[in-house]
Structure 1
Amino acid sequence: MPSQREEVVRRLYDALAAGDAQAATELLHPDFVGETTEGLPFDLGGTHRGPVAMTEEFWWRIGRHYRARAEARDFLALADGGLLVLGRYTGSARDGGGALDAAFAHVLTFDGDRVRSLRQYTDSARWRQALPPAPAGRRELRVVQYEVLDGVATIELDRPEAGNAIDPTMVEDLDEATFRITADASVRAVLVRGAGGTLSVGGDLPFFARTAAEDVPQRLRAMTDRYHLTLERLATLEVPVVCAVQGAAAGGGMGLAHVADLVVAADTSTFVFGYGAIGLASDGANSWYLPRLVGTRRAQQLFLLNRRLTGTEALAWGLVTEVVPHDEVLARADELAATLAAGPTGAYGRMKRLLRQSASADLADQLAAETREMAGSGASEDSREGITAFVERRRPAFRGR
């Protein structure tokens, strides 16, 4: 036969399911404290003091985003007179979301016939998975840090414990960050860097080792498709891109350096491709950029013999723009990005477009393109400012795109 306290908890769950705020509040002690799971969406996790706070800040906020019901399965009496309730949250997210099915454990204490406290434990990842995907430009970033300051958009790979290895989450975050750049007219330059003293060790091999063999091809296709769209977006930006390379730049991670306009590397940096060592072909635009940057013979050597280059060798081979001591890489890259952001970014975009198409254009087409871009840039305010400042022997104040 259910105990009196078990009946109180069942009535609380029924009141919440029915949206009866008064009934739910009356079952809570005036000094009620609710502790909810950290990591829940919409900052729902944390401490809620008082019946009203718990009802309005937690339960009703859940109701705005989910159609959810707590289904109790087991009630276990605790030595202190409390209850441990085990069950599942079931339902769905609103606004086109998916099904919700998350286990929970509730630890409740009582004061008479009212609930004095409730500690909630649940799988927050299941709550997030039920939500509809956020539109591009508003998706949460998890392993990439992104900010725009003084016209410079900084993308920082932030998996230092894994060498900033590229996994599905990293690919999704890079896609989101670069989409934000394209939608933000205030961005005048981009800086790409890695946290923890390295750019990226390339693909996340432990992730693929955990993947069933029959699923690897599809995983690779999905990741490379999305990653390549990100690289193409960076390569075709109208604003300059600077890449800072500390530590390793390996495999597909090299793509982030390839698509940059300026690359600052450390003298101690390491550049390696490594595909032959793991039985894979090539991604990250390596097969397109390498022959153009270092020549076919050197590209063959890098691919087939897994030749490892130092930062100094990468400079000599044409893979990077300049080399500085390890501790100066980020500062120098910041300096370059800030300088470019203060420049005529509209003209920079035209320059980048001309350089991109020169790889496949014949001379006549390229000359025609130069004529077109020169005329276009000549109509800009930056062009007028630049010419006037030169004549007046002062520093120009460019407004950019």
Structure 2
Amino acid sequence: MTDRDVSIPMCPAVLLDRRNGIAVLTLNRPDRANALDGEMALALDAAVDSLTGDVGLRAVLLQARGRHFCAGGDIREFVESIDDLGSRIDGSIPAVHRMIHRLATLPVPVVSALNGPVAGAGIGLALCADLVLAAESMKLRGGYSAIGLTPDAGSSWLLARRAGEARAKEIFFTNEPLSARHCLQFGIVSQVLPDAELDAGARALVTALAKGATGSFARIKVLVDGASHRTLQEHLELEHRYMGEASRSADAREGVTSFAQKRAPVFGSGFR
């Protein structure tokens, strides 16, 4: 992958910039609270799809412009199609779900930076990242049941996985907003930063991750994300296999050698 700026054509609401192995995805509908309409969902799907299989990719940052990270689905679209709401929603969900799964399973670290309120489908978009940074002003609100709908975009799975089933039900039942500090306390976000420091903090993190052992990160994601679906014996066998693969890699040789030489390691592209 060469250093370049890439923007998604036909949809200025989604920006994609790829540089030095880092992809930055930016939600760019600040006038609509970065709500997901049909066009934006398709553009996000195309953007994430373009990252899949990119051997030069080393880290991803998901961010948003304006005062909100993502308000969820675009209620204006719902109102416009109220007489055929089911068909409208059925038609839009596949692209959103495909994008969420692709983003969550990329074999590189994914960081989301939540600059403001998050609700509805925005919860899934925010929490499908490996590490979630939040500004002090961020608030999280379920929102679905308040308009007679149920969660999508993986939001119920991801929130239950981070905060527990009881807490997730409380959030989706009551629709009471949670502050960034409460989200940190409940394990929903990884770190809370002052608003003015969020962008610099997120970029510093993805830059550091992009210099890391990408093959190691990819294996760690598979191990951790699938741990609850394996028996202990199955997991131990996978750990054994992955440790064997990793120990034969150039990154392992570089990591051990640099540690012995008391210098910073220079990792390659891992095993992908």
TMscore range, shorter length: over 0.9
Whether 1:173 aligns to 2:34 is no
Post-superposition offset of 1:307? 2.4
Q: Report what 1:369 is aligned to.
A: 238
Q: In the aligned structure 1, how far is the partner of 2:241 from the partner of 2:87?
A: 43
Post-superposition offset of 1:296? 1.6
Q: In the aligned structure 2, how far is the partner of 1:256 from the partner of 1:240?
A: 15
- 2:20 aligns with one of 150, 154, 159: 150
Whether 1:187 aligns to 2:57 is yes
2:229 alignment partner, SS class: coil
Q: Report what 2:3 is aligned to.
A: none
Q: In the aligned structure 2, how far is the partner of 1:209 from the partner of 1:336?
A: 40
Matches within 5 A, 1:119-158: 140-158=10-28
**Count of residues in correspondence between the two structures:** 264
Which protein has the larger Cα radius of gyration, Structure 1 or Structure 2? 1
1:359 alignment partner, SS class: helix
Q: Report what 1:264 is aligned to.
A: 133
- 1:380 aligns with one of 249, 257, 266: 249
Q: In the aligned structure 2, how far is the partner of 1:290 from the partner of 1:269?
A: 16
Q: Report what 2:67 is aligned to.
A: 197
Task: Report if aligned partners of 1:151, 1:188 keep a CA contact under 8 Å in 2.
Answer: yes
Task: Report if aligned partners of 2:11, 2:43 keep a CA contact under 8 Å in 1.
Answer: yes
Q: Report what 1:164 is aligned to.
A: 34
Q: Report what 2:91 is aligned to.
A: 222
Q: In the aligned structure 2, how far is the partner of 1:223 from the partner of 1:174?
A: 12
Post-superposition offset of 1:376? 1.2
Task: Report if aligned partners of 1:165, 1:200 keep a CA contact under 8 Å in 2.
Answer: yes
Higher relative contact order (CA 8 A, sep 6+): 2
Task: Report if aligned partners of 1:201, 1:249 keep a CA contact under 8 Å in 2.
Answer: yes
Matches within 5 A, 1:193-342: 193-214=63-84, 216-342=85-211
1:142 alignment partner, SS class: coil
Post-superposition offset of 1:356? 1.4
Task: Report if aligned partners of 1:142, 1:173 keep a CA contact under 8 Å in 2.
Answer: no
Per-residue CA deviations over 1:298-341 (Å, capped at 9, x if unaligned) read 11110111121000110000000000111111111111110100
Q: In the aligned structure 2, how far is the partner of 1:336 from the partner of 1:201?
A: 25
Whether 1:392 aligns to 2:261 is yes
Q: In the aligned structure 2, how far is the partner of 1:348 from the partner of 1:160?
A: 33
Post-superposition offset of 1:290? 1.9
- Identity value in percent: 37
Per-residue CA deviations over 1:50-71 (Å, capped at 9, x if unaligned) read xxxxxxxxxxxxxxxxxxxxxx
Per-residue CA deviations over 1:219-278 (Å, capped at 9, x if unaligned) read 111211110110000111000000000111111011122111111101111111111111
Post-superposition offset of 1:160? 0.7
Task: Report if aligned partners of 2:97, 2:154 keep a CA contact under 8 Å in 1.
Answer: yes
Matches within 5 A, 1:340-359: 340-359=209-228
1:148 alignment partner, SS class: strand
Normalising by structure 1, report the TM-score.
0.64
Amino acid at match of 1:293: R
Task: Report if aligned partners of 2:117, 2:137 keep a CA contact under 8 Å in 1.
Answer: no
- Looking at secondary structure, tell me which structure has more strand per residue: 1
Q: Please list every run of 5 or more consecutive structure 1 residues that lacks an aligned counterpart in the other structure.
A: 1-136
Post-superposition offset of 1:212? 4.2
Task: Report if aligned partners of 1:343, 1:400 keep a CA contact under 8 Å in 2.
Answer: no
Normalising by structure 2, report the TM-score.
0.94
Q: Please list every run of 5 or more consecutive structure 2 residues that lacks an aligned counterpart in the other structure.
A: 1-6
Post-superposition offset of 1:349? 0.4
Post-superposition offset of 1:141? 3.9
Task: Report if aligned partners of 2:38, 2:92 keep a CA contact under 8 Å in 1.
Answer: yes
